Amino acid sequence: MTSEVARLRNDEELRQVATKMAHKLLFHTKKLSSLLSYVITLLEVFKREIQRNTKLGYCDCELAFVCYKVAGVLCTECEKQDKNSDLVKATRDTYDLKKHDYATISAVLGVSDNDRQKSVGNGQALEADLLARFQNLKSPSGSTDSVATKPKYESRHISGDIPLIDYAKLKGCVTASELHDLIRSFKILLIDFRASKDHNYNHINYPEIVNIEPSQVNNLIAQVPNCSDMDLEQKLSHIIPDAHLSRFKNRTSYELIVIYNFNFGPTGANPNRFDALCERVIAGSRDRISSTPFDDLIDILMFRNKFPGHTLSRYPCFLAGGVSNWFEVFGKESITRTITDPVLQRPPASLSREGSTKAIPTRRPSLKPVGETHHSSPYLKNFGDYLSTVKSGSPRPVDSSFSQITSTASLPAKTSPSSSVSIPANQRPTKNLSTRNAPSVKSTPSNNVGASYSPKPTPPSSSNGSMRAQDTTTFLEQYTTGLTNLGNSCYMNCILQCLGATPQLTGFFFPSLSSSASLENSAVQSYRQHINVNNRLGTKGILTTNFVNLLKNMFASTGSYFTPSEFKTVMGSLSPSKQFATYDQQDCIEFLEFLLDRLHEDLNQMVISDPEEKRAISELTPEQEKTREILPVRLASTIEWERYLKLNFSIIVDFFQGQYSSQLRCLICGATSTTYNAFSILSLPIPNRLGSSPPALSLDDCLNAFVTTELLDDDNKWFCPQCKKRTKSTKKLTITRLPQVLIVHFKRFKISPTGQFSKLDTFIKYPVNQVLDLTSYWPPVGTSVNESMASSEIMSIEREQQVLSTLPTRNQVPPFRYKLFGVANHFGNLTTGHYTSYVRKKSDAKKTREWCYFDDSKVTYNCKESQVMNKNAYCLFYQRI
């Protein structure tokens, strides 16, 4: 048996462990109230493991078995002392209700249970708070009593020797010695769940590590109670170092995730978890006995996946005793620190699968390459400037600091008493931040749409209008090329057809293309000057170049079909965990998000490597957050967008991204917390309609459901910073910025508490040949963030307009009217479905095209409006007109 194999205890060994724990607890006390407390604590631990088994199909069956056996012994002892006590009876009833779950655990372990629990002691008296804990055990919330919820995966019998990595997922924790063995044999991702300053000072000497601060998770849950793993990824993208973010994005490629903090859990090289539990039960510390400090993080990573493809292969574990115990077991060479200054030194070896089993070698410190700078590319006010810029090797100076956007010095003179609101500058001290320049905010007339790049029918700006000829536009809007299905690749084909019909995108990559015959002579290489090869979040232009080549081949094959095998291979190799390399069914929205994100990062002109600088830009001080709560929506949204552009500035942002605000309001004290989030895809809920044959919904119904105020109660309560506790609250979403290309996604797939996905086939009506007007959803000047503010505190409309006139408008001028140009359809269910698309094409004298239906390589022309509006619509592509 190797060190990478663990042996499960057999029937007799488990009974011995249970007997030993029961004797130890009864030796410590025979007081009735204490024994009842022990029973309830053990049943809480048992319940936690049953809940894991229900969700995952596996759990720490050994621990669950022992807890139930010991609880039974203690129950019998309590009955001997006071058989008629209501609390004793209730505790026994609760214990008996869990016999079904205990039978399941016994079957998994392959043990029999024909012995009776035996009493071993005596005691007396009750304690008051036991009843509340007992009631919680009986509560229906998450209940796993006699009629257990069917697990996502069926439990199976386990015994004898099993791989250590599987034993770790069963326990939910690993010892220091076990982790050392796992690192040598498996692909493990460590998450250091501490403040960044603590991580930088000392952390486990291992290269595959990500530092996530508990406050980042807590703040996310406070702001977005129902947050997903992608919400966390988005939040971290502006905070943690690029290398850490890259590992986190590829989290599904690791065989196991292990989380640790400073010292949580039992200590020692191989601590006995049963002895540790017994000691904590005796100590009477209810805190963290049936839970861990990592539960919220694990819940997000394991159960709140936005897409099915993001599910982890194994339940994350925590490291017993944390980094402190790791140091005690393996010594100073097992710990390293992050060095942030350039230092010349010989790089020591790092811990790897081939590392020594006797000692952990020292990991090379995280160093900045000598001569590397963290200056971002210059901030450009519009995409006319962007498109005319040629990349150079050295950073260019910028006019002013970002803080000037929100400083009182940059605002016009006060014109009314209500305009006394000032927007504080960012006061967070950061290394060299004062030397880094940021966007110029020269005055832009309020009626100017901005100089963003925009195709017809929107009139082009003077900065780029000459780049696209009429014949270019005509060909790009006429070509029709089918795409071969490479084996369940219809999810990719339907999205490529819609993106290939997006004039903003094709016009950027092919500014002078007039016909398929001009492909070789077209200036299609001009986009290369905008690829940022230094952005570690991108693909160094690999994906972008292959995407352009794909479009080029599609143009050349118009009227026929093309096989996109090379592009799929590239996408597969670049995707997290090689997700798109397989021939499995995938979600087209997940594919679209990945593609847009990588195109953005390849073309992102604002890359800042210094995590402290990124943090200073992406995080507000408490004073700034308070100010944001009293600013008008239009002004707050604009300032937040300019701040967002400090880290994200590409054609994808300019064409595809909008913004929505999320406001939480405490119903006790009225305090609010508002955040502003960018989106590339507007995911809309599908409202429930009662009845066996509910009427069809409209796109407006889904939009209204998106912006409807939501009540947060029970487990979703918000932690109000004013009340200092979780309170009943409301959540309100508002669309604050609308993009040039609006992608709407209907949330047709819902996940059940057991992890099963189901599809909603609700018919949703949407404008096909008519105009979609979203102006009413866009808050105009004069809209207050906080409606409960006194009138004297509200900034006047005149003052707001005055301040807005100093900031770039960036196309945010009503009306916001859109025309549909693409529809991605999904037939069937998540595992056996099929994707197709409708795309609007221009006709000419030779051929009537209009709405074309793309079913992989097959193309059908001139489809009716009634066909385009169909119940299988999954994703809509609208262009602003």
Tens-place pLDDT, residues 722-761: 898 889 999 999 999 999 999 999 999 887 655 567 888 8
The C-alpha torsion from 601 through 607 and 610 to 615, rounded to 10°, is -80
Residue 592 lies in a domain: no
- The two structure tokens encoding residue 826: 């999904």
Please say if the pLDDT value at position 407 is more than 60: no
From the list 536, 496, 481, 585, the residue with the least C-alpha distance to 826 is 585
Distance CA 99, CA 137 (A): 14
- 490 catalytic? Reply is yes
Buried b / exposed e over 498-508, threshold 16 CB at 10 Å, is: bbbbbbbbbbb
> Residue 120's pLDDT is what?
38
134/233 same-domain check: no
The vertex-268 CA angle with 264 and 269, nearest 5°, equals 115
Asked if residues 733 and 226 have their Cβ atoms less than 8 Å apart, the reply is no
**Helix or strand run (H / E) with residue 762:** none
Furthest CA-CA distance within the chain: 98
- The two structure tokens encoding residue 656: 């595809």
Instruction: Tell me how crowded residue 755 is: count the other CB atoms within 10 A of its CB.
Output: 18
Position with higher pLDDT, 471 vs 439: 471
Residue 387 lies in a domain: no
Distance CA 318, CA 174 (A): 6
179/146 same-domain check: no
231/350 same-domain check: yes
One-letter amino acid at 261 equals N
**Percent of the chain topping pLDDT 70:** 74
> Residue 839's pLDDT is what?
97
Q: What is the CA radius of gyration of the chain?
A: 30
Average pLDDT over residues 417-421: 36
Distance CA 685, CA 382 (A): 34
Which residue in the list 173, 278, 490, 666 is annotated as catalytic? 490
> Residue 389's pLDDT is what?
42
In the listed set 314, 334, 366, which residue is the last one of a domain according to the structure? Answer: 366
Position with higher pLDDT, 514 vs 703: 703
Asked if residues 177 and 161 have their Cβ atoms less than 8 Å apart, the reply is no
Asked if residues 501 and 839 have their Cβ atoms less than 8 Å apart, the reply is yes
Please say if the pLDDT value at position 418 is more than 60: no
- The two structure tokens encoding residue 787: 């409606």
Average pLDDT over residues 866-870: 96
pLDDT band at 612 (very low <50, low <70, confident <90, very high): confident
Task: Respond yes or no on whether the N-terminal peptide bond of residue 457 is cis (omega within 30° of 0).
Answer: yes
- pLDDT single digits (tens) 455-506: 333 333 333 333 334 455 577 888 999 999 999 999 999 999 999 999 999 9
Distance CA 856, CA 835 (A): 8
Average pLDDT over residues 34-63: 88
pLDDT band at 526 (very low <50, low <70, confident <90, very high): confident
Buried b / exposed e over 277-301, threshold 16 CB at 10 Å, is: bbebbeeeebeebbebbbebbbbbb
What's the full length of the chain, in residues? 881
Distance CA 596, CA 310 (A): 17
206/137 same-domain check: no
Which residue in the list 28, 723, 834, 863 is annotated as catalytic? 834
Please say if the pLDDT value at position 423 is more than 50: no
Q: Is 597 helix (H, G, I), strand (E, B) or coil?
A: helix
Distance CA 179, CA 355 (A): 13
Residue 769 lies in a domain: yes
- 244 catalytic? Reply is no
Backbone angles phi, psi at 743, to 5 degrees: -105, 120
Q: Range with the lowest mean pLDDT among 91-100, 152-161, 581-590?
A: 152-161
Residue 558 lies in a domain: no
pLDDT band at 339 (very low <50, low <70, confident <90, very high): low
Residue 456 lies in a domain: no
789/676 same-domain check: yes
Average pLDDT over residues 30-45: 89
Residue 539 lies in a domain: no
pLDDT band at 847 (very low <50, low <70, confident <90, very high): confident
Distance CA 453, CA 236 (A): 30
Which residue in the block uniquely carries the two structure tokens 């967002």? 644
**Total domains, the chain:** 3
Asked if residues 48 and 145 have their Cβ atoms less than 8 Å apart, the reply is no
Position with higher pLDDT, 145 vs 864: 864
231/98 same-domain check: no
**Percent of the chain topping pLDDT 90:** 43
638/754 same-domain check: yes
> Residue 446's pLDDT is what?
35
101/219 same-domain check: no
Q: Find residue 737's DSSP bridge partners.
A: 659
3-state helix, strand, coil in the chain (%, to 5): 40, 15, 45
Please say if the pLDDT value at position 561 is more than 90: yes
Q: Give how far the C-alpha of residue 538 lies from the chain's centroid of Cα atoms, to the nearest Å.
A: 18
> Residue 858's pLDDT is what?
96
- The two structure tokens encoding residue 727: 């309170």
- pLDDT single digits (tens) 313-323: 899 999 999 99
* Residue 699: partners with Cβ closer than 8 Å, 6 or more residues away: 684, 744, 764, 765, 766, 767, 772, 876
Task: Respond yes or no on whether the N-terminal peptide bond of residue 815 is cis (omega within 30° of 0).
Answer: yes
Q: Is 591 exposed, middle or buried (0-12, 13-18, 19+ CB in 10 A)?
A: buried
**DSSP readout, 803-826?**
HHTTS--TT--S--EEEEEEEEEE
One-letter amino acid at 418 equals S
Provide the mean pLDDT of the chain: 78
The vertex-153 CA angle with 148 and 157, nearest 5°, equals 85
In the listed set 366, 397, 420, which residue is the last one of a domain according to the structure? Answer: 366
From the list 473, 459, 506, the residue with the least C-alpha distance to 813 is 459
Residue 377 lies in a domain: no
Q: Find residue 677's DSSP bridge partners.
A: 660
From the list 732, 763, 767, the residue with the least C-alpha distance to 746 is 763
136/69 same-domain check: yes
- pLDDT single digits (tens) 140-167: 444 333 333 333 334 455 556 788 888 8
CATH number at residue 315: 3.40.250.10
> Residue 529's pLDDT is what?
86
Q: Which long-range contacts (CB under 8 A, 24 or more apart) does 543-551 make?
A: 543/570, 543/571, 543/574, 543/595, 543/598, 543/599, 543/602, 544/598, 544/599, 544/602, 544/603, 546/570, 546/571, 547/595, 547/599, 548/509, 548/524, 550/496, 551/500, 551/506, 551/509, 551/510
Which sign does the torsion angle of CA 456, 462, 468, 470 carry?
A: positive
Distance CA 432, CA 444 (A): 30
In the listed set 334, 366, 398, which residue is the last one of a domain according to the structure? Answer: 366
644/702 same-domain check: yes
70/202 same-domain check: no
Residue 830 lies in a domain: yes
| Residue 384: HSE in the Cβ half-sphere, 13 Å Cα cutoff | 12
- Containing domain of residue 750, as a range? 611-880
Average pLDDT over residues 856-878: 96
152/217 same-domain check: no
